[in-house]
Amino acid sequence: MTAYSPRLGRLIEALRRLPGVGPKSAQRMALHLLQRDREGAEYLARALGEALSGIERCPRTRMFCEPAHCGFCSASRAKAGQLCVVENPADLIAIENSTPYRGRYFVLGGRLSPLDGIGPEALGLDLLAEQLADGTVQELIIATNPTVEGEATAHYIAELARARNVKVTRIAHGVPMGGELEYVDGGTLSHAFAGRQLL
């Protein structure tokens, strides 16, 4: 027993597939588009269609890319000889937006998790191993998340690189800039303390 007409009901149901969107906000979004922004609805439908038809996984970085415009496989990025490994596309975007790093990337698409059946193949580590073996990488920068599984993944990848004589670094973890020791969680604080550096 619902007040939605069939197409309105389907639109609300479809909007609920977006992460973080519950029934109330899906209804608000649908009514907003129909009432005040039909042009926005058209734009969104078109953008979704174009994304689905034109965005692929780059066979080299495993990042989403548009074959004709893959911004992450350029010759200038390769020149630096650095390869940064991240878990997810969002991590790559965060590094690209916040740091001056402009080398190559490798997106795992997850982290090793034997209990969930996520092994080295699922993360494309054979592909990574090939890239580490071809002599183009001087430094492998591991930027997996500082969780138990992220650390285990970092350790596994570090071994892959060392076996191929590639220098391995790991991004630093510690007290966040602007954070106050008093409020930082204990694990982070003890990690930061153990990782203290000479000034």
Contacts to its own copies by CB under 8 A: 2-8, 10-11, 13-15, 17-20, 25, 27-35, 37-38, 40-52, 54-55, 64-66, 69-71, 88-90, 92-93, 96-97, 109
As measured in angstroms, the least distance from the Cβ of 150 to its own copies is: 17
73 scored as a contact of Zn ion (CB under 5 A)? yes
The DSSP H or E segment spanning 106 is: strand 104-107
Query: What is the spatial distance between Cα 87 and Cα 83, in angstroms, rounded to a whole number?
Result: 13
Stretch that binds Zn ion, among 34-42, 64-72, 109-117, 124-132 (CB under 5 A): 64-72
Q: Of 189, 186, 125, 197, give the one whose Cα is nearest residue 154.
A: 125
Q: Please report whether residue 70 would count as binding Zn ion according to CB under 5 A.
A: yes
Q: Which helix (H) or strand (E) holds 92?
A: helix 89-98
9 vs 26: CA distance, rounded Å: 10
Report in angstroms how near the CB of residue 109 gets to Zn ion at its nearest: 14
58 near Zn ion, judged by CB under 5 A: yes
Which lies closer to its own copies via its Cβ, residue 45 or residue 163? 45
Shortest distance in whole angstroms from residue 62 CB to Zn ion: 9
Instruction: State how far the alpha carbon of 46 is from the alpha carbons of 11, 19, 52, 74, in Å.
Output: 15, 20, 10, 28
Nearer to Zn ion, 27 or 61 (CB): 61
- Scan for tokens 């183009």, then name that residue: 136
Closest to Zn ion by CB, 15 or 132: 132
Phi, psi of 197 (to 5 degrees): -120, 150
Using CB under 5 A as the binding rule, whether residue 65 contacts Zn ion is answered as: yes
Q: How far is it, in rounded angstroms, from Cα 56 to Cα 197?
A: 42
- Considering CB distances under 5 to 8 angstroms, the limit depending on partner class, which of Zn ion, its own copies, none binds residue 130? none
Contact status, residue 104 vs residue 78, Cβ threshold 8 Å:
yes
73 binds, among its own copies, Zn ion, none (CB under 5 to 8 A by kind): Zn ion
When asked if residue 41 is in the footprint of Zn ion (CB under 5 A), the reply is no
Token readout for 12 is: 């609300």
Map residue 6 onto helix, strand or coil: helix
Is residue 83 a contact residue for Zn ion (CB under 5 A)? no
Among all residues, whose Cβ is closest to Zn ion?
58
Q: Which does 163 bind (CB under 5 to 8 A by kind): its own copies, Zn ion, none?
A: none
Tokens of 181: 């020791």
